[in-house]
Structure 1
Amino acid sequence: MSILAYVVKQNLVLKNNTYFITGISTEVGKTIVSAIITEALEADYWKPIQAGELDASDTRKVRQLVSNTKTKYHPTAFNLETPMSPHAAAEIDGVALSVSKIERPITTNNLVIEGAGGLLVPLNSTETVSDLIKPTDRIVVVSRHYLGSINHTLLTLNSLEQKGLNVFGIIFSGKEHPTTERVIRQMTEVPILGRINEESYFDARVISYYAKMFQKNFRK
């Protein structure tokens, strides 16, 4: 990349917000949350690493759920065949996966980045998903109630704090569990951005409904 292109890229990023969506585990609702925030802000969307389900990728799912016409969907940096942790999928595919090979898209729009699995999912023997996050990113942690979820939520938030990263807030996904949500709120004082109920299905209309509910928490 030329020096001029690098300067332009940095200036474009600084004019807008980047939201990095991570979860306390896998299958907690990151893709649904990514679609909601993308719709709420008419932001661009980017999935840096897709492991498995290439015919039904998260980018494709978000594209089907978002109804605005402004969003751009940026190409995934690594498309891995095997539905496993990225480090293992890359090894099976014979791919050298590293953060240095993942370049963020240039955009004049807000950007939503969806991580892979949880924060400390390994990309290789030395790097994790957390190494994809920049200090300027607004991190949204998706938490879903299950046995052990309080521990996983607190560990995720503690790791982000130790790294000096910017936790923008928590979104709870799934059936409401007041005692779990209350103790997480009390122990962390991290803003609660909203909750997504256990819906029977998600389509563009449902995503639009939640996007309108969440807009006020993201447009600031």
Structure 2
Amino acid sequence: MTRTIVVTGTDTEIGKTVFAAGLAAALGATYWKPVQAGLDEGGDGDTVRRLGVAKVLPEAYRLTTPCSPHRAAAIDGVTIDSARLALPAVDGPLVVEGAGGVLVPLADDLLYADMFARWGAPVVLVARTALGTINHSLLSIEALRRRGVPILGVAFVGEPVEDSEATIARIGGVKRLGRLARVAPLDAGTLARAFAAGFRTEDFA
């Protein structure tokens, strides 16, 4: 049976795609981002390829404008059909990346968290370690739990902030999976080493 892990975040631009690439490469998984909004830099699929992920599925929707998918779809004159967002059948593990945060709308009446609930796959919540992360992380955890979405744990990105990381895990009642340090220069090799230093692959098995 395919092992699917959904990667979501507490916000946008927090390192979610880099984490997803590191996870997919470490597991030898297929990567899929169902909806790509914003094509100026080619999309996140191109990014994860550059970061060492060999198997990348095409998006169900590629939208031009870099904003919430429901708005980007409206601007492009596209209607997002949730039936096209069903999890694909692949050989081996699958890493699925959402866009932005947990409550980002895919359509007027469909949030990412709702889609996660339909999928029923465990979710990794990616959270930054900077100021404000406790509030954002606990709100995201609460939104997922309210919908019955299984949470595999929280993966932090950034410089170590022990109190914030421990507080989120304790109050949120979630597993603290590890922390991905900021990587520079960022390439497949440096990401693989940073991911191996910050996480244990058996926690995602």
TM-score (normalizing by structure 1) = 0.86
Aligned length: 203
**Alignment of structure 1 residues 42-53 onto 2, 5 Å:** 42-53=28-39
Question: Which residue is equivalent to 2:107?
Answer: 124
The 4+ residue runs of structure 1 with deviation greater than 4 A are: none
Question: Which residue is equivalent to 2:24?
Answer: 38
Deviations 1:173-220 (A, max 9, x none): 012212211211221231111101123232111122134343433453
Counterpart Cα distance in 2 of 1:219 and 1:129: 21
Identity %: 37
Deviations 1:156-189 (A, max 9, x none): 1111111111100111001221221121122123
The match for 1:201 among 158, 179, 185 is: 185
**Alignment of structure 1 residues 1-220 onto 2, 5 Å:** 15-53=1-39, 55-66=41-52, 71-133=54-116, 134=118, 136-213=120-197, 214-218=199-203, 220=205
> Residues 219 and 118 of structure 1: is their aligned pair in 2 closer, same or farther, counting only changes over 3 Å?
closer
Q: Which amino acid aligns with 2:59?
A: T
Counterpart Cα distance in 2 of 1:84 and 1:38: 25
TM-score (normalizing by structure 2) = 0.92
Query: What RMSD over aligned residues (CA atoms) do the two structures have, in Å?
Result: 1.7
Displacement, 1:78? 0.5
Could you tell me whether the CA contact under 8 Å between 1:50 and 1:58 is conserved in 2? Answer: yes
For structure 1, the 5+ residue unaligned runs are 1-14
Counterpart Cα distance in 2 of 1:88 and 1:149: 26
Q: What is the DSSP-based 3-state SS (H/G/I as helix, E as strand, rest coil) of the residue aligned with 2:108? A: coil
Q: Which amino acid aligns with 1:114?
A: E
Deviations 1:56-88 (A, max 9, x none): 210000011016xxx421110000000111111
